[in-house]
Structure 1
């Protein structure tokens, strides 16, 4: 009887929920809750058209969140990702229009130079952030805050405060609304980047070093890891992924401006934290980051469908971020017991 009572207690809904929370975190509960709530509130939410829109819209945040996760794993933070999205889009658009202006038939060369220019610009930004944090010991928050402020000013100067438009239709068709292997280009690139990031973080020495640096940078130094190189590499990866998002966003919308990526700064951090990536470094999985970004997109999409005001959406996102932080601390204590 005693054994039976103990077995029943362990299989009770409360204990099952507790075990699921310890092993999976709060994200699955939030994701299921959001899907159920919005499905009951608005029948358009679960329509095939809206599901396709969510899948397409989430790609941009997924790519940026994966880059942000790499920086967070090293106990850092990159607030400049939103500005990099806008800056890379502006650089790509200006180079594309400049080359096609002098050589209208050289579309392939123009696209190659434009995309290369946008990516190279992001590498420089990542190096600036990484060198500031790793070599000059500037706190990541202040370093990337300074970078994002400067980038917005540079982008506005390059465009005279106006959006860059009249992007060639062929560029938009190839990278924006066309199809590659039956998939939208953004979805295909997101899948490829996810696989690459999963391999990097789970199957390579560099990935293991990211976790080590975030867990204990002093111990990593004593074990022979070049922690400065790891920190710089983390910020470069984050910046490059943000630039890829900026290029895909340009192809999708046909317009580039300095403030295009501003919402992604907070959203990328929120997606990572909700996914269980620790703000103190050394903990987190890229698989969960993907689900965290999808959850943020579903939340935004659902609130738009039921006509929640934009300022209320910011309140909800902030509240969920705080909830995720509290839940993460609670889960850590439960695991320790």
Structure 2
């Protein structure tokens, strides 16, 4: 009688890398989809629709998997509200409004600074100097994204450049870094629980902002006749880009750690480029070189993976600024 062997589980670092890659690939695809939706509605309304529907899904999944007891905040209500506001309101609103004032290329380049922000925050908190390999990986990533988004034509960086939207993008990127690091303050919680409770808090913050801006007449809502055409895009942005991607991101960050995991954010512009190529966009030499450098930065980053059996250290969080 033959015995069947169960498939060996993936190494933790590989599983985490796949989770982060899945999340950033989905987010890369979400950029052109978001552009279509933003033609009919403002960024705050779009973000509220996404996470207004995603938050109840997070909660339902949490209750199903871990029971109603997992809904307890354990005295961390204000911290969860702060992190949720940073992650689900701060990043999305600052980035989308800033891109509307500038160019999408600047958004992609500023996103490439998020790993550097994470390394600097970790260095300030821990007092330890990052390894030379880390700095090299970050440099390759930043140069790669600049080439990727400009196709090597650096003169594009001076077109429509402005200080305010650039600062808004940096603030939004910092929001996402701090939200990602925030999970370290809840080491006994599952990624699903952290996502559900911060997502609910973020959805509440978005609703309050929406009511205030609506009262001030600052909203732009789609006509009823446009809703059937917008529904597929909104479903993608909600179910995949909000629910699946955020859950995958938090799961990957929990295992890999913020300092190494943040580098995967650079797959977002790479995915956007791949979608453009599939739609007939010719691949330039600058874009190709940039894509290679981004992938090389990820490979170099993985050379610093923790040895089997050693847990990956994740820096503690002190909630001091916005995501």
TM range (shorter): 0.3 to 0.5
Structure exhibiting the larger radius of gyration computed from Cα positions: 1
Q: TM-score of the superposition, structure 2-length normalised? A: 0.34
Structure number with greater CO (CA < 8 Å, separation at least 6) is: 2
